[in-house]
Amino acid sequence: MRVDRFDFDLPNDRIALRPARPRDSARLLIIDGKRITDRAVRDLPQILRPGDVLLFNDTRVIPAQLEGRRGEASIGATLHKREGPRSWWAFVRNARRVRMGDVIDFGDGVRATAAERDDAGAVLLVFHGEEPVELLLGRAGRMPLPPYIVSKRPADAEDVEDYQTMFAREAGAVAAPTAALHFTDRLIAALDARGVLRETLTLHVGAGTFLPVKVEDTAEHRMHAEWGRIDAAAAGRLNAARAAGGRLIAVGTTSLRLVESATDEESRIHAFEGDTAIFITPGYRFRAVDGLMTNYHLPRSTLFMLVSALMGLETMKAAYAHAIGEGYRFYSYGDASLLLPAR
């Protein structure tokens, strides 16, 4: 499909620079088939059914944004995928000033060698020393806020907590699974009382999620791989819940992409551990999920293509037009939507 079919106009003032407080006070647009309803995230216990399963991503965002120098040159690096115990692929700013074998000094005793460059221009950084890389990043790194936020304000101390979900346990993401940012202990308790179930998986979200689609046709776009895991016990519980009539509702596109990667043609979910580069566009047959809770996505992005595959492109364009007209807040710190396709 032509990428320009997924374009839309978004007023600049709709981009949220801070999350809603409290988190579950964010607005929630429900798209049920083609019917659109305005609610709030805190209303989820009244919207979902007993036996439904919410699928959360328990990845934890690491301080993956680095600023350093190679000689006189200023070099920025955003880590996006771990390659080994001491090596990470990174998108590098001012990359033309970096040759393979160069050492980049990120300050606070954190140094890395540029070891390799891939076809897309990313650089493999190998960190020096014996300290775990996570400790090095804790000293020299910053929270990797999306570019549409940091272009308007710098990351600060509030983001250390704000850009982390309540489920965050497995360190390794360089972007938050933002749909889950809306959940609170109070909301989880109300969902438990309603009989709504939950499961967690792990997908370490990469910075590639923010990369623009530069080709004219979706068939030519190459997705960046991300590492994920679903254990056998969780897969078994998800299959059992669906067999009992419960709906599987992914909280975030990261959870959706991983569970779809782990599901066979007969809609059986299996244990999974490894990389996935699944690219979901209209025409894809969903095998696992019955719904999706997600924030609002950029024009022409792979994530807007994904929600269009689930609900239909014209339905999503109408829903986004409604959200813009009603003053919903967009992107990572913005409001949410609950997508329930007609089946």
Q: What is the CATH number of the domain that holds 134?
A: 2.40.10.240
Domain range spanning residue 17?
3-61+162-340
Q: How far apart are CA 295 and CA 180, in angstroms?
A: 9
Contact 232, 201 (CB under 8 A): no
The pLDDT tens digits along the chain (343 residues) read: 999 999 999 999 999 999 999 999 999 999 999 999 999 999 999 999 999 999 999 999 999 999 999 999 999 999 988 999 999 999 999 988 999 999 999 999 999 999 999 988 899 999 999 999 999 999 999 999 998 999 999 889 999 999 999 999 999 999 999 999 999 999 999 999 999 999 999 999 987 676 778 899 999 998 888 999 999 999 999 999 999 999 999 999 999 999 999 999 999 999 999 999 999 999 999 999 999 999 999 999 999 999 999 999 999 999 999 999 999 999 999 999 999 999 7
Residue 119, pLDDT score: 85
- Residue 40 sits in the same domain as residue 188: yes
Residue 210, pLDDT score: 67
CATH code of the domain containing 264? 3.40.1780.10
DSSP annotation of 15: B
- Residue 19 sits in the same domain as residue 44: yes
Q: How far apart are CA 220 and CA 217, in angstroms?
A: 6
- Residue 177 sits in the same domain as residue 262: yes
Rg of the chain on CA atoms, in Å? 20
Q: What angle do CA 125, 128, 131 make, to 5 degrees?
A: 115
In a domain, 152, yes or no: no
Write the CA distances from 177 to 55, 128, 129, 215, 283, integer angstroms: 12, 30, 31, 25, 25
- Residue 245 sits in the same domain as residue 324: yes
Q: How far apart are CA 39 and CA 51, in angstroms?
A: 21
Contact 206, 254 (CB under 8 A): no
In a domain, 202, yes or no: yes
- Residue 106 sits in the same domain as residue 198: no
- Residue 7 sits in the same domain as residue 40: yes
Q: How far apart are CA 298 and CA 148, in angstroms?
A: 10
Q: How far apart are CA 338 and CA 260, in angstroms?
A: 18
- Residue 54 sits in the same domain as residue 85: no
In a domain, 157, yes or no: no
- Residue 118 sits in the same domain as residue 218: no
- Residue 16 sits in the same domain as residue 113: no
In a domain, 231, yes or no: yes
In a domain, 155, yes or no: no
State which amino acid sits at residue 259.
Answer: V
- Residue 317 sits in the same domain as residue 273: yes
What's the domain count of the chain? 2
Strand partners, 35: 32
In a domain, 115, yes or no: yes
- Residue 47 sits in the same domain as residue 69: no
In a domain, 240, yes or no: yes
Contact 275, 258 (CB under 8 A): no
In a domain, 154, yes or no: no
- Residue 322 sits in the same domain as residue 289: yes
